[in-house]
Amino acid sequence: MTRRQGGFTLIEVVVALVMLALILSVSFEIFSRGMTRAGDLGDRANALVVAQSRLAATGAEEVLREGVWTGESEDRRFQWQVTVRRAEELATPQGGKTPSAAYALYLIDVHVSWRGADSRDHALDLSTLSTAPKPT
């Protein structure tokens, strides 16, 4: 009487190892993409902070006037550009006459750019309207 020994055959062990390798490689890819995405979102959040701080500083640190200003963040990762221009077309009523007022409406655009970990250029734009005394 022959007795069959318990255990796995070589083919069963190879199939199990192949399945384990596939599962681990897919898991690693998912984890890697998640970490990359988290880094990208962190960069975008930092760029938003830079843009919001430039919007808040424009007109608060000095009198609002037309022009273009550029600079970069303290860590030199983010470059920003602030553009301020009169928004007369937004303030003009449908009749076409510009109302005489002591204040002018300004359009403030902030553009923040940076190079991501993926070596691609990224950008974020914010805009707002603000009033300031008319220039004399």
Instruction: Average the pLDDT over 100-122 and give the result.
Output: 90
Please compute the mean of the pLDDT values over residues 39-61 and round it to a whole number: 92
Residue 118: what pLDDT? Answer: 82
For 99-104, the CB contacts below 8 A with 24+ separation are 101/134, 102/133, 102/134, 103/131, 103/132, 103/133, 103/134, 104/131, 104/132, 104/133, 104/134, 104/135
User: Is the per-residue pLDDT at 135 higher than 80?
Assistant: no
pLDDT at 14: 94
Residue length, the chain? 136
Per the DSSP assignment, residues forming a β-bridge with 121 are 115
What is the CATH number that goes with domain 10-133?
A: 2.20.25.110
Whole-model pTM: value is: 0.71
User: Which pLDDT value is given to residue 69?
Assistant: 94
Provide the pLDDT for residue 23. Answer: 96
| Mean pLDDT across 22-43 | 91
Q: Where are the domains of the chain?
A: 10-133
- Residues 85-106 have pLDDT tens digits of 998 766 566 666 666 678 889 9
Vertex 87: Cα angle to 83 and 93 (nearest 5): 170
* pLDDT at res. 99: 61
